[in-house]
């Protein structure tokens, strides 16, 4: 009894002594686990902030900041110092990931002891947890809600930038040093943040997403193309100019004016290569009513000549400045190539502008600058005849244009596909339900266009342009 009693007494005394140690051990593991969870969540915040600020709409954030939104101002502050912010988030994220991995190792060692198997399993499980909850899920969430994330975490990033300023400065200095060292061996060209091609892709994307409709998308693209369009691309060709001979009597001039719908007409002496001025129709009629014998030359405005290679955005500014609505396009030798008006500039942006007196032929539309929109079912010979040239390939002259297009591609082409047929550049303009409905034809050799006769008098059915319409 005494022996057994002593043994039982020693057992219970030992168990009572170890109980506080075990309780403290489990309590320590719980605290470590809580810290592990906190570091994983913190890593998720840092990853989300990195992704959110990278993908946010800077223009929208800037607009909100200008309206006085404090959160937007903080987000804009971070964006303007994104290199430092990125370094800060990388430092913070690495600290959180390393701390989480260290805590996981300590917890696993206390629970299962030290062994190679425990170390491997702990590493695999910790990596999976950190990848899922500190990287993939937060970054995916922030990428889908980049603006909300940037607005919500701006204060956190600014706080961390100030907290880790010495470390950020040190690592930034090292990074710049390596960049300069690498630049000695590898030449790096600075590129704009968004290229013109990327801007076109952005416009296509917002059209597909329904932000803008097709007409708005086309208008935006036309505005981008406007600065790269030249006078020769949109001018009324020499053969289509409606002009007046300075030797005509006032009665003959009045007859021509009655047949035209233009508000201004060029006046030439001898031939169209010697344009001496521009006549405003209203001015002539007003003065003619006062004096039928008024001298035509005294009413002329001086001609404004431009180069065929002049960009129309520059011309628009100059012509508006000098209140000049019609310009003569002439080459270096002074030979008239065509004329251009303010209306031609507008048509480049918004499309063809038709007057109530215009005769609209949907099968053949003059776009200006040796460009024509034609019905693909017209024969090649008819297209060439309407343009004013002879078909280079007489064997194909009787064939419909659509047949030649299908023969070239061997399939139904897509919109904006281009190919060249002798002197004609053919662009597929419209395809609907696998049917080609419209093509654009561009005459690549202006010199092949026949010269207009010296006495350029319009006919009633004339579809050409001669000056700025009413």
Q: What is the mean pLDDT of each run of 10 residues along the chain (470 residues)?
A: 47 47 70 90 90 85 86 89 88 90 88 84 89 89 88 89 88 81 70 71 78 76 75 80 89 87 88 90 90 89 89 84 86 87 77 56 72 85 82 79 86 87 86 85 61 36 41
What angle, rounded to 10 degrees, do the helices at 137-144 and 146-163 form? 120
Instruction: Note whether 127 and 52 are same-domain residues.
Output: yes
* Domain identity same for 322 and 235: yes
What's the confidence (pLDDT) of residue 465? 42
Q: What are phi and psi of 26, to 5 degrees?
A: -70, -35
Whether 164 and 271 map to the same domain: the answer is no
In this structure, the answer to whether residues 155 and 206 fall within a common structural domain is no
* Residue 441, in any domain of the structure: no
Return the pLDDT at 352: 60
Q: What is the CATH number of the domain that holds 302?
A: 3.10.580.10
* CA dist 308 → 95, 277, 278, 420 (Å): 64, 19, 19, 22
35 in the same domain as 148: yes
Mapped onto helix, strand or coil, the DSSP state of residue 250 is helix
pLDDT at 444: 78
Classify residue 111: in a domain, yes or no: yes
Same domain, 162 and 94: yes
Let me know whether 50 and 179 are in one domain: yes
For residues 165 and 178, membership in a common domain is answered with yes
DSSP 8-state code for residue 458: -
Q: Is residue 118 part of a domain?
A: yes
Residue 267 placed within a domain: yes
Tokens of 359: 């005769």
Instruction: Decide if 420 is inside a domain.
Output: no
> Do 175 and 299 belong together in one domain?
no
Q: Is 135 domain-assigned? A: yes
Q: Is residue 256 domain-resident?
A: yes
Q: Mark 227-256 as b/e (b = at least 16 C-beta within 10 Å).
A: eebbbbbbbbbbbbbbbbbbebebeebeeb
Last residue in a domain, options 121, 154, 183 = 183
Rounded Cα–Cα distance for residues 284 and 298 (Å) = 10
Which of 304, 335, 354 marks a domain boundary? 354
C-alpha 358/C-alpha 262 separation (Å) is 11
Residue 56 placed within a domain? yes
- Cα–Cα distance for residue pair 143/205, rounded to 1 Å: 17
* Structural domains in the chain (count): 3
Residues 311 and 343 in one domain: yes
Closest CA to 331 of 243, 231, 242, 244: 231
Structure tokens of 383?
């297209």
Tell me, what's the pLDDT at 361?
63
Q: Do 47 and 148 fall within a single domain?
A: yes
Contacts of 467 by beta carbon, 8 Å cutoff, 6+ apart: 242, 262, 263, 264, 265, 266, 278, 326, 339, 341
What is the structure's pLDDT at 267? 92
Residue 140: count of CB within 10 angstroms of its CB: 13
Rounded CA-CA distance 118/369 in Å is: 78
Domain containing 138: what range?
Answer: 20-183
Considering the entire predicted model, what is its pTM? Answer: 0.49
Is the domain of 177 the same as that of 263?
no
Q: Which of 319, 338, 354 lies at the terminal end of a domain, its last residue?
A: 354
């Amino acid at each position: 009894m005494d022996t057994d009693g002593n043994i039982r007494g020693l057992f219970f005394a030992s168990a009572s002594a170890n109980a506080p140690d075990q309780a403290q051990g489990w309590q320590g593991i719980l605290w470590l686990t809580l810290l592990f969870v906190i570091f994983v969540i913190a890593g998720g915040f840092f990853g989300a902030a990195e992704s959110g600020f990278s993908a946010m709409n800077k223009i929208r954030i800037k607009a909100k900041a200008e309206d006085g939104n404090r959160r937007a101002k903080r987000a804009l502050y971070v964006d303007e110092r994104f290199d430092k912010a990125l370094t800060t988030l990388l430092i913070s994220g690495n600290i959180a990931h390393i701390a989480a991995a260290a805590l996981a190792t300590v917890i696993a060692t206390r629970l299962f002891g030290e062994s190679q198997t425990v170390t491997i399993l702990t590493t695999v499980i910790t990596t999976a947890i950190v990848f899922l909850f500190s990287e993939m899920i937060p970054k995916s969430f922030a990428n889908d809600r980049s603006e909300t994330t940037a607005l919500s975490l701006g204060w956190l990033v600014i706080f961390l930038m100030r907290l880790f300023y010495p470390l950020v400065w040190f690592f930034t200095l090292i990074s710049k040093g390596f960049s300069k060292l690498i630049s000695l061996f590898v030449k790096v060209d600075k590129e704009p943040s968004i290229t013109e091609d990327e801007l076109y892709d952005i416009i296509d994307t917002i059209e597909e997403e329904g932000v803008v409709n097709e007409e708005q998308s086309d208008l935006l693209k036309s505005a981008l193309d406007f600065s790269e369009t030249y006078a020769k691309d949109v001018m009324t060709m020499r053969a289509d100019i409606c002009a007046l001979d300075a030797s005509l009597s006032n009665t003959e001039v009045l007859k021509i004016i009655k047949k035209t719908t233009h508000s201004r007409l060029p006046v030439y002496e001898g031939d169209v290569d010697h344009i001496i001025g521009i006549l405003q129709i209203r001015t002539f009629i007003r003065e003619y009513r006062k004096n039928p014998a008024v001298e035509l030359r005294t009413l002329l405005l001086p001609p404004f000549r431009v180069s065929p290679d002049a960009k129309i955005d520059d011309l628009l500014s100059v012509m508006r400045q000098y209140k000049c609505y019609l310009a003569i396009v002439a080459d270096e030798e002074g030979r008239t190539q065509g004329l251009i008006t303010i209306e031609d500039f507008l048509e480049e942006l918004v499309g063809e502008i038709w007057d109530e007196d215009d005769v609209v032929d949907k099968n053949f539309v003059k776009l200006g600058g040796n460009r024509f929109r034609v019905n693909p079912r017209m024969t090649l010979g008819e297209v060439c005849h309407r343009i004013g040239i002879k078909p280079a390939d007489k064997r194909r002259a009787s064939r419909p244009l659509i047949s030649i297009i299908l023969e070239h591609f061997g399939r139904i082409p897509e919109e904006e596909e281009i190919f060249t047929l002798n002197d004609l550049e053919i662009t597929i303009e419209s395809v609907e339900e696998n049917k080609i409905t419209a093509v654009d034809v561009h005459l690549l050799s202006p010199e092949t266009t026949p010269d207009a006769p010296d006495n350029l008098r319009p006919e009633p059915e004339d579809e050409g342009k001669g000056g700025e319409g009413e």
